[in-house]
Structure 1
Amino acid sequence: MAFAGAAVPVHQDPRLRECNYGELNGCPVSVLVADRSRHIDTPFPGGQSYRQVIAATADFLHDLASGWNGRRVLIIAHSANKWALDCLLDGASIDELVDAPFGWQEGWHYTLRP
């Protein structure tokens, strides 16, 4: 939708989908907030863990580096993927991120280093 009719290449990648909260998919965020820290390593029932999101994002970044090295790209994803980028590229701790308030802004800039 964002680039309809533009000459910008768009690639959809399932590794950037929101965390699969399994049985909790679609529930209010207030329900998830209370449960996040218990699912850093243990998957949500019928879903995935935040470490699995980090692993999928790391795999995505590996492919991104090999195909787009040195170029600027726009990634549109969800909060769990943003946390994964913070962990992988800025050295943040997922244990701290899941319990911290989410500081929304119009965008974040990361540098993928070889």
Structure 2
Amino acid sequence: MQDKVAPLIFNGIQKTRTIQNLNDIRQVFISAGVTPEEFDNSWNSFIVKSLTAQQRKLAADVQLNSVPAVLVNGKYMVKNDGVEASSVEGFIKEFGLTVKHLLNQK
């Protein structure tokens, strides 16, 4: 499912800017073959609520102000607007190289 949904979400956020809210995300999953009931049950599950709470706390703790945001080694924040984003593959490659470089910094 991730292989189907990830490019759709990437394009909806980065390129077409058509993903603005939860219902937009829900529609992406439905278009990828997930039933509305499956999405709603998963979204409202204990595990998703727990993971969401953990991520919100982490974002507040490190004062994240944009999404997606990645903090490397607790001190380097990857600037997503500096990563090439003309394609999913290009973004993934550049993002990975940036994170790898930051992991090697002292």
**By the TM > 0.5 criterion, same fold?**
no
Q: Which protein has greater RCO, CA pairs closer than 8 Å, 6+ apart?
A: 1
Q: TM-score, normalised by structure 1?
A: 0.27
TM-score w.r.t. length of structure 2: 0.29
Q: Which has the larger helix fraction?
A: 2
